Amino acid sequence: MSTVKLHNKYFAPYLSKEKIDNITQTLVNQIAKDCGNEIPIFIGILNGSFMFAADFIRKYPRACEISFVKLASYVGTSSTGTVSQLVGINEDLTGRTVIILEDIIDTGSTLQKIYEIFKDKNVGTLKIATLFFKPTVFKKELPIDYIGLSIPDEFIVGYGLDYNNLGRNIDSIYKITTPKMTNIVLFGPPGAGKGTQADLLKDNYNLVHISTGDVFRYNIKNETELGLLAKSYINAGNLVPDEVTINMLQAEVEKNADVKGFIFDGFPRTSSQAEALDAFLATKGETINGMIALEVSEDLLVDRLLERGKTSGRPDDQDESKIRNRFNEYNTKTAILKDYYAKQNKYFGVDGVGSIEDITDRLSTIIDTL
């Protein structure tokens, strides 16, 4: 579960699908016990309750019926101008046990109207069951017979609940949050000038630049617990596990908890690392605002690196086959991450050819929109 953006708002993970499933099962057990062998009719209130109602019915252990209704309003048919009516109920409810299934009850104003309409249908027993209940804002005297979970007065989405029509299809619950940081994943092929741009951007936006390479070297040089662990893998000729790398980066973030944000350089490199980074930031109510990739042609960069190799002393800058192998590795990893962030509308490609100032301006234009 990672922070999601719906329209102009951010939402952080709140309740997992498994937690919702457990709450629903508890409600089913309570209601089935009270109903015994009686055949109740469950009424789902649209639009929000459709997921909850569907899962509830699948779990109900005995015979039952279900119907869905919606409260509609229209104008101009009475002196008051607005008349509420219940759309969708065609069954004869005389003498029946009717249980209203609500996704969430807050003030109770809409539910009050629905309850009164059903009371006029000569039902035998009328009860209310809700997945979520906000007791601090509930203003009615209605009896709420079954409550799945009482929650604070926070705006939530997912599992049928929406924010301006988005978010209903999310299978878990998220709550509204306000990220305080600007967090950027900066990508670029070898020789694209990513390090130079990261140094400029961190000063321009007062961000902390976290380079995976620098973090590794620091931990290994200072023989931290994570550094010694990473070194043991390296000495054995093995790749350092994602968990070790992620723990190093988390430690860096924790050391800078009050900053305006981070530029992540060299991490993530795989979709699993991106998911882990999202999950970690979500625990802090934060998110990655965007992945920005410097785009430069491979041939141009090969020439640039070979020229750099004449003075840098780096052997990997002096062998064209090694350089192109680095590009192949970069392109493979970038393609995976591009898809990952593009699905979140967070991928931005920027022309990396031109003067340092021009490229900085292009990057800044993107960051300013985030």
Residue 329 CA to residue 316 CA, distance in Å, equals: 14
Q: Name the helix (H) or strand (E) containing 208.
A: strand 208-211
Sheet with 82-87: strands ordered across: 82-87, 65-75, 41-45, 97-105, 125-133, 146-150
Q: Which residue do the tokens 């990473």 mark?
A: 230
In 3D, which of 96, 108, 102 has the Cα closest to residue 24? 102
**Per-domain residue ranges of the chain:** 4-177, 182-369
CA torsion, ordered 294, 298, 299, 302, to nearest 10 deg: 90
Type of residue numbered 143: P
Asked if CATH classification 2.40.440.10 holds for the domain at 182-369, the reply, yes or no, is: no
CATH 3.10.20.90 is held by the domain 4-177: no
Residue 297 burial class via C-beta count within 10 angstroms: exposed 0-12, middle 13-18, buried 19 and up: exposed
Residues paired with 57 in a beta bridge: none
pTM over 0.85: no
Give buried/exposed letters for 89-111 (b at 16+ CB in 10 A, else e).
Answer: beeebeebbbbbbbbbbbebeeb
- Asked if domains 4-177 and 182-369 share a fold, the reply is yes
- The answer to whether the Cα torsion of 242, 244, 245, 248 is positive or negative is positive
Q: Which residues are catalytic?
A: 194, 269, 308, 314, 326
pLDDT in tens, the chain (370 residues): 567 888 878 888 899 999 999 999 999 999 999 999 999 999 999 889 999 999 999 999 999 999 998 875 443 333 343 446 677 777 888 999 999 999 999 988 888 888 888 888 889 999 999 999 999 999 888 899 999 999 999 999 999 999 999 999 999 999 988 777 899 999 888 778 888 999 999 999 999 999 888 898 899 999 999 989 988 988 888 878 888 888 998 888 888 878 899 999 988 988 888 988 988 888 777 889 999 999 888 888 878 778 777 777 777 677 788 778 877 877 777 678 888 999 888 999 999 888 999 999 999 999 998 8
Buried b (16+ CB within 10 A) or exposed e, 27-58: bbeebeeebeeeebbbbbbeebbbbbbebbee
Instruction: Give dist(CA 85, CA 76) in Å, integer.
Output: 14
* Intra-chain end-to-end CA distance of the chain, in Å: 21
Q: In what order do the strands lie in the sheet with 156-157?
A: 4-6, 9-15, 173-177, 156-157
